[in-house]
Copies of this chain bind each other. A is one copy, B any other.
């Protein structure tokens, strides 16, 4: 019998989370799995949990009903008109598993309560595996000073030393869940957090899903390399509205995003490429993003040429099928007893954990190879 898989979303009432839950329900009603990579034949024999069997739950700091978020996303053209009527039952089921993020005097206590929420979710829904995915608002970068677990444990008992995303990761590990960071937040960056996962024998992965401009970059940059065409400058401007846009309007939060966005380019083309990346909040764009990139390169004997592209995408509609993929793949990793980082998921991320490979094609091959192994 197929194992029952629960998907715990941090940021469970946001656009990405809502589109994920609504989309899984739509697939169960027969919508084609556009954008779902694990629906490809190459992934068929690996025993991945069927999407329609996934059970959703999660934490958020707001309590707007999922059904209301679905309506907002329909009005914004992200979800198809009429979907809400079709999936009322599924939304209600997920709604019952959503919990307001606990607040406590010490972070140790907060993590304990969060882990408790995950365990309750597992019990109530009779789940074999729980996979946690962070789709909460992007945090500003943070330095985590602790290098040893005991030191960290003492600090957690005394106050709130960690950013929320690290607490989320630890709560997942405490509840025996895997953890994926879909965002560029701190979460599993500190080695001490990764150590905690390993101690509990659990897998983790991330970070910052590549769904738009960066996705395109990671196929174009290898083209220039393969053809020995020197790239002199790569400049980009991203215009976005929505909740994510509003968060990134704060330059400190945008910093996290920029760091992970830039990583791929310098890994792929080297450090000497000029050019900046801008992220602009443009409220009237709603849930849509437009990115313009300008690449200045040269050919034979130094003659200068350019490639420009404009990407106009609906971020949540690009992200949600990847969240479903990552849920299925994390569950497989749990089932296979994988412990520690999952660099074979680099295909999904701007800043892949424990990997400097950014070429999409190479990453795809690595992913398929892992899935088809054993």
Chain A residues with CB under 8 Å of chain B are 19, 23, 26, 31, 33-37, 39-40, 74-75, 77-81, 83, 215-216, 219-220, 222-223, 226-230, 232-233, 235, 237, 239, 274-276, 278, 280, 282-285, 290, 292, 294, 296, 298-314, 317-318, 320-321, 347, 359-362, 364
Contacts and interface: CB of A to CB of B under 8 A. Distances in A.
A360 B226 contact: yes
Contacts of A298: 34
Given A39-B228, A219-B222, A307-B312, 17 more contacts: A31-B301, A34-B302, A36-B228, A37-B227, A220-B220, A233-B282, A235-B237, A274-B283, A278-B278, A282-B296, A284-B304, A285-B296, A305-B314, A305-B317, A306-B311, A306-B312, A307-B309
Nearest to A322: B227
A296 to B, nearest CB: 6
B229 A223 contact: no
A144 to B, nearest CB: 31
Contacts of A296: 282, 284-285
Contact of A19 (B23, B31, B300, B308): B300
B34 A229 contact: yes
Given A274-B282, A299-B318, A309 B312 contact: no
The 6 closest A-B pairs by CB, nearest first: A361-B361, A232-B284, A309-B309, A299-B317, A300-B317, A237-B237
16 contacts: A23-B300, A31-B301, A34-B228, A34-B229, A34-B298, A35-B229, A39-B228, A83-B301, A228-B321, A233-B282, A237-B278, A237-B292, A290-B294, A300-B318, A310-B310, A361-B361
